Structure 1
Amino acid sequence: MKPPTVFYATSSSFKRDEIAILRKEPLSVGQRADPTPIGDYCDLQFTNVATNEPLEISLSKMVDHKVRSAYRQLLTPCIVEHAGLIFEGQDSTGFPGGLTQPMWDSLQAEGFLERVGRPGEVAIAQAVVGYCDGVNVWTFVGETRGTLATEPKGQREFYWDTIFCPDEFGGKTYAEVCEQPDGLARKLTVSQSAKAVRQFVQHLKDHGPGNLFANIP
Structure 2
Amino acid sequence: MRRRTIYYATRSAFKNEELDIISRERTFVDLKRTDRSIGELIEFKVSRIPTEEPLEIDLSAMVRHKARSAYRTILAPCIVEHAGLILEMNQHEGFPGGLTQPMWDALEPEGFLARTGCAGERAIARAVVGYCDGKQTHTFVGETTGTIARAPRGSREFYWDVVFCPDDGGGMTYAEMSDQPGGLQKKLAMSQSTKAISAFASFLATQNGNGLFD
The answer to whether the 8 Å contact 1:143/1:195 transfers is yes
Q: Does 1:163 align with 2:184?
A: no
Q: Structure 2-normalised TM-score?
A: 0.95
1:136 is displaced (CA, Å) by 0.4
Counterpart residue type for residue 80 of structure 1: V
Match of 1:108 in 2: 108
Match of 1:130 in 2: 130
1:27 is displaced (CA, Å) by 1.7
Percent identity of paired positions between Structure 1 and Structure 2: 55
Match of 2:44 in 1: 44
Distance 1:70 1:17 in 2: 20
Question: What SS does the corresponding residue of 1:66 show, helix, strand or coil?
Answer: helix
Per-residue CA deviation, residues 184-215 of structure 1 (Å, 9 max, x unaligned), is 0000111000000000011111224742133x
Q: Which 5+ residue runs of structure 1 have no aligned equivalent?
A: none
Question: What SS does the corresponding residue of 2:206 show, helix, strand or coil?
Answer: helix
Q: Structure 1-normalised TM-score?
A: 0.93
Match of 2:172 in 1: 172
- Seen in structure 2, the aligned counterparts of structure 1 residues 85 and 205 have a Cα distance that, compared at 3 Å, is same
RMSD: 1.6
Match of 1:62 in 2: 62
Per-residue CA deviation, residues 104-162 of structure 1 (Å, 9 max, x unaligned), is 00011000000014211000000000000000000000000000001000000000000
Q: Aligned residues, how many?
A: 212
1:138-157 matches, within 5 Å, as 138-157=138-157
Divergent runs of 4+, >3 A = 32-35
Match of 1:18 in 2: 18
Counterpart residue type for residue 175 of structure 2: A
Counterpart residue type for residue 132 of structure 2: C
The answer to whether the 8 Å contact 1:27/1:202 transfers is no
Counterpart residue type for residue 141 of structure 1: V
Question: What SS does the corresponding residue of 1:89 show, helix, strand or coil?
Answer: helix
Match of 1:212 in 2: 212
Counterpart residue type for residue 146 of structure 2: G
Question: What SS does the corresponding residue of 1:147 show, helix, strand or coil?
Answer: strand
Distance 2:75 2:209 in 1: 14
